[in-house]
Structure 1
Amino acid sequence: MKLKILASDWHPFADALCARTDVESAGIILAERLPDSVLLARRLTPLADAAYAIRKRDRIRIDPVALNRLVKPARERGLSVFTVHTHPAANEAWFSTADDLGDSVLMPSLLTQMDGPHGSLVIATNSRAVAARAWYASGSPVPAQIHLIGKTLRVLTSEDEQPEQMWFDRQRLALGESGQRILRQLHVGVVGLGGTGSVTFAQLVHLGVGRITVIDGDRAEATNISRILGARTSDAGVTWKVDIALRYATNVGLGTEVTVHRGRLGAEVTPAVLGGCDAIFSCVDAHLPRALLNRLAYEKAILLFDMGSAFRITAGSPMEGAGRVVVTGPGRRCLACWGHIDPNRIRVESLPPDERARQQAEGYVAGADVPQPSVVAFNTQVAGAAVIEFLRCVTEFCGADDPPDRLSFDFGNGSVRRNRLAGDTDCGICHPKVAA
């Protein structure tokens, strides 16, 4: 079970609870239920002084009337409840005997009032270390992961299991034991399994990412075989791209769980299937799925890595090419702010196929379905850079505290520029969720 919390919500909440070191302090988190046993914190409320029936250094009891008032929105909106309390002057977070006793009474009570899961969380005030667990109607508590989402992703709790055997020994030398363990705990989406998407997927498999959900609505064509990793000439016109990806991961055998969706995002596949992801790689040419992913990143606190490449061929002169990687999500400017979402293209892509074809034939639509140049070497450069930015964001590798928002590649001269957007924004998508 995983609870995602925006960094901009967590830090003031934890500060308020840890301000007192002479007594325990408490608060309530109400969380939305997402797919795949993932919760997203929607409201974090420190308890007022009057809400405590008992408040001492080693135990607390919340006034039942105050507790009922705090959890009422959960009953009304179908949310999960997490109780939070501190252990004053502690360096490690753990559940005490008093905590076990209190939860053994409170959690079954909550589960009889509303569907679960519900849970509890302890903060050690000295270190801000966290321990968390979730309770289901089926019985005993299970460990809960706490993921803190801002410009980067931080896992505040970790599972006891270690990375598998020897397969990642060299990788652990670069990313550390904790970095490798975090990769195994993550759920990552890859939308689009063409040139950049297949290379991205392959890297995630070899990195040991725990779970990957892939979405693509096409079978491999003859022109795909030279740039889709793991594709065979026998796949042309026959095999779905998602099935090539699944076969690739199975053959590698590093234990990555792969979920496949055969269809187009926004048509046969809804964005909701990605709601439980920690990060998503947008490897699509179309603007409609890109816009859906852009909004989803802010609505469900997901890191989004959008990538693409473009080439220009001018008669009598060499071909020019450029690529980009844009990192968006909480705390960052969105793809619309960067100008990578075209409302007119979205309108065209939303048309029924026959109407779109008619408008193209009449000259109202230019270039929407025109095949673009694609070369595996350039795709690999862009996808590799996107995955490196992903590693910065989730493992604290190499400058994670100040990651760029956009990388721009000039394939002609080999240059790479790191960009940020200057100034404030009143964007209706990313501004409300900007995190500190």
Structure 2
Amino acid sequence: MNSVRITKTQLKTLTEYLLQSKNESAVFLIAGYFRNSLGSHLVVRDIILPKNQDYDDRTEFHIQMSPVYFNKVISIAEANELTVIQCHSHPFPEKGLRYSPTDNFGEATSAKTIHECLNGKPMGSLLFGKNEVIGRIWLDNKNSPIDIEELRLVDRHLQIQKLVETKNSDKTIDKDLYDRQIQAFGIRGQKILSQLIVGVVGLGGTGSSIAEQLAREGIKNFILVDQDKFEISNLTRVYGSSIKDRGKNKVEIAEQNIKQICSDSVVQKIFANVISQKTLSDLKDCDVIFSCTDRHAPRSVLNELAYQYSIPTIDVGVGLDSNNEKILGGTVRATLLSPTLPCLYCTGILNSELILAESLSKEELESRKDEGYIQGLTDDVPSVIILTTLAASFGLLLMKDILFKVFDSKSSTVTLDISTFETSRLAASVQNDCVCKLRTAKGDYIPLSAP
């Protein structure tokens, strides 16, 4: 499913400019690019709006951009090691939007230039009519372009606009099975859930609960990641487990539980560390990812993945304070990571010093703790199923919000203070010098922090 990923604000800016005049208009976008097992994808980073002098010719049926403007766009893309999406409008047809022979010739020429100037990078194209959009990707300068099949709006919410009808779009829904849920989200909402690919990283207390609830909600496609085996102490929190599962891979327990709920589910199991290029490459197939790991380093790389590839990622966590006899306090939290929203570093949830500490040997770690250089890193922390399940539900509620706009709030974090039992929706600001700003929409053009 070839796509262009763009924020709602970017699309609004683009549409308003392209369709404001009775004459054709053009805009170039600076974008990242990546491939996954489903197709080719362009991720919009910047919009380069032309000025009137950037048009050499502009009429209702024809445009010619200035070479100076075109070269400026290529220079910006080259400086940022990104590529280009060429956009223009046909403001005249009400329906039946299509590329003209002149468009075909002009784009083939532009794609050849971009391929040569930007080290073989592909060029995207979007054509805007009054009521529809079509697009294509020129992968090289030798073959015909491939269709862009969907326009994906990714920011505080996720909206997938199909540009080309696919075989899966007419899948039937079991209305009896999902009756109560359809009453909440509608038949269209249930169809959206059934078509998603959802990743769950970490199948412990929160992750196993999320996996089970997703299966019951009608999610059919899963990518499950966990490198741990089931231990007897996990029995109190891991959904679908029994005492007989000791030594079994957690991903196998989760898959078995999902299949018991819905036998036709498709589950890809990854028994590996998420901090690897291979695992992260597999996760690029996901529409939504749940980060359910209790370590900082995996969270950090999933944080990168969310912004670099425009994949909404929901980080779920529980932090408890206890004296080994009583819970003294703590927090249950779920945070949405997505373009335009603050990341885990912006909000202070991630700490680079603790990421470094996780990589130290036991001896060096204890020495640093004794010297007071490291605080807040503990191997064995208290955990109870009522709170891990609550955190999972917070995460799932955020997922419903990004799909169906459940909240009347711009907040990207939901928290519960265990001491006061007060919930809050926190809003932080994106930090200009943060890693999320650097990585946003870069796709495969910057490596993830993994071997």
TM-score, normalised with respect to structure 2? 0.77
Aligned pair 1:189/2:190, yes or no? no
Question: For residue 95 of structure 1, what is the amino acid of its counterpart?
Answer: L
AA aligned opposite 1:420 = A
Measure how far apart 1:48 and its partner are.
Answer: 4.8
Q: Give the superposition deviation at 1:57.
A: 2.8
Question: 1:323–1:411: 8 Å Cα contact kept in structure 2?
Answer: yes
* 1:405 maps to which of 391, 401, 412: 412
Structure-2 residue corresponding to 1:15: 16
Rate the CA distance shift 1:251–1:121 in 2: closer, same or farther, 3 A.
farther
How many Å apart are 1:81 and its aligned residue? 4.3
Pick aligned residue for 2:42 from 39, 61, 65: 39
1:383 CA drift (Å): 0.8
**Higher mean C-alpha displacement, 214-223 vs 276-285:** 276-285
Question: How far did 1:23 drift?
Answer: 1.4
Aligned to 1:293: 302
For structure 1, which segment, 228-237 or 354-363, has the greater mean C-alpha deviation from structure 2 after superposition? Answer: 354-363
Tell me which amino acid in the other structure corresponds to 1:346. I
Q: 2:91 aligns with which of 88, 93, 97?
A: 88
| CA distance in structure 2 between the partners assigned to 1:432 and 1:78 by the alignment | 12
The alignment-based identity, stated in percent, is 27
Q: Does 1:264 align with 2:273?
A: yes
RMSD: 4.0
1:389 CA displacement: 1.0
Per-residue CA deviations over 1:345-365 (Å, capped at 9, x if unaligned) read 212102246644676799976
Partner SS state of residue 167, structure 1: coil
> Equivalent residue for 2:126?
121
Matching residue of 1:214? 224
Whether the aligned pair in 1 keeps the contact of 2:343 and 2:430 (CA below 8 Å) is: no
1:220 deviates by: 1.7
SS in 1 for 2:388: helix
1:321-336 counterparts in 2 under 5 A?
A: 322-336=331-345
Query: Is the 8 Å Cα contact of residues 31 and 79 (structure 1) preserved in structure 2?
Result: yes
Q: 1:173 to 1:64 in 2, by over 3 A?
A: farther
The question of whether the paired residues in 1 share the 8 Å contact of 2:304 and 2:439 is answered with no
SS in 2 for 1:83: strand
Structure 1 residues without counterparts, runs of 5 or longer: none
SS state of the match for residue 225, structure 1? helix
Indicate the residue corresponding to 1:162 in structure 2.
169
State the one-letter code of the partner of 1:379. T
One-letter amino acid of the structure 1 residue matched with residue 33 of structure 2: R
Report the alpha carbon displacement of residue 206 of structure 1 after superposing the two structures with TM: 4.0
TM, length-normalised to structure 1: 0.79
**Residue identity opposite 2:331 in structure 1:** A
What's the CA shift string for 1:256-297, capped at 9, x where partnerless? 554443333336866555456443322111122223333443
**Aligned pair 1:429/2:401, yes or no?**
no
C-alpha contact (below 8 Å) 1:2/1:38 kept by paired residues: yes
Q: Which runs of 5+ in 2 are unaligned?
A: 442-451
How far, CA to CA, are the matches of 1:148 and 1:415 in structure 2?
33
1:284-363 matches, within 5 Å, as: 284-314=293-323, 320=329, 322-352=331-361, 355-356=364-365
Corresponding letter in the other structure for 1:428:
C
Task: Give the equivalent residue in structure 2 for 1:142.
Answer: 147
Match of 1:385 among 391, 394, 408: 394
Contact 2:334 2:413 in 1 (8 A): yes
The CA distance in 1 between the partners of 2:200 and 2:147, in whole Å, is 29
Q: Give 1:176's aligned residue.
A: 186
Q: Is the 8 A contact 1:35 1:276 kept in 2?
A: no
* Residues 1:330 and 1:103: Cα distance change in structure 2 (over 3 Å): same
Contact 2:333 2:394 survives alignment (8 Å): no
The whole-number CA distance in structure 2 between the counterparts of 1:71 and 1:205 is: 46
1:224 Cα offset (Å): 2.0
Deviation for aligned residue 1:9: 3.5
How many residue pairs are counted as aligned between the two chains?
425
Distance 2:47 2:305 in 1: 21
Aligned to 1:3: 4
Distance 1:155 1:414 in 2: 36
Is contact 2:31–2:44 with CA below 8 Å preserved after alignment? yes
SS at match of 2:318: strand
1:218, distance to aligned residue in structure 2 (A)? 0.9
Question: C-alpha distance in 2, partners of 1:193/1:154?
Answer: 27
AA of the residue aligned to 1:243: E
Determine if the alignment matches structure 1 residue 202 to structure 2 residue 202.
no
2:225 alignment partner AA: I
Aligned amino acid, residue 19 of structure 1: Q
Structure 2 CA distance for partners of 1:61 and 1:158, relative to 1, 3 Å? same
Matched-pair contact (CA < 8 Å) for 2:24–2:91: yes
Q: How many Å apart are 1:315 and its aligned residue?
A: 6.7
